[in-house]
């Protein structure tokens, strides 16, 4: 069984978003996603300062088996990317909700997370 923490919000495409409460949030992929992908060997992310509409592609995660697009959970501006993933993409496998985070973003709408799946709804999906 894959982990679905209660305090996060989710997309159908298996990204998570963790609001910090100050209008910013962290973004990553779920335990289910990393497990399905298998060994992750490369994470290609957008740049700091880029703006995204909800549902647009912000990068690619490449496992031994396949390359998969990453989808932005909400309308945001990217304010940081996880610098460790460039040399340690396996952090996404090892700790998808912690050290394997991908982006720090500023939400266009601080309440955007409310429109996303909560843990109970995401659990039903996986």
Interface contacts to other proteins, rule CB under 8 A: 38-39, 41-42, 44, 60, 62, 64-67, 89, 93
Q: How far is the CB of 93 from other proteins (least distance, A)?
A: 8
In whole angstroms, the minimum distance from the beta carbon of 3 to other proteins comes to 16
Nearer to other proteins, 13 or 62 (CB): 62
Of the pair 19, 96, the CB lying nearest other proteins is at: 96
3-state secondary structure the chain: CCCCCCCCEECCCCEEEEECCCCEEEEEECHHHHHHHCCEEEEEECCCCCEECCCCEEEEEEECCCEEEEECCCCEEEEEECHHHHCCCCHHHHCCCCCCCCEEEEECCCCHHHHCECHHHHHHHC
User: Closest CB to other proteins among 54 and 93?
Assistant: 93
């Amino acid at each position: 069984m894959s982990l679905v923490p209660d305090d996060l919000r989710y997309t159908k495409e298996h990204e998570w978003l963790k609001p910090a409460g100050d209008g910013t949030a962290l973004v990553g992929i779920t335990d289910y996603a990393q497990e399905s992908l298998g060994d992750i060997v490369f994470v290609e992310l957008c740049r700091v300062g880029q703006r995204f509409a909800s549902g647009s592609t912000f990068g690619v995660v490449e496992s031994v088996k396949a390359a998969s697009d990453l989808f932005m959970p909400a309308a945001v501006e990217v304010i940081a990317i996880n610098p460790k993933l460039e040399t340690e993409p396996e952090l996404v496998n090892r700790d998808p909700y912690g050290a394997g985070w991908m982006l720090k973003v500023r939400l266009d709408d601080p309440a955007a997370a409310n429109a996303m799946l909560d843990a109970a709804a995401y659990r039903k999906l996986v």
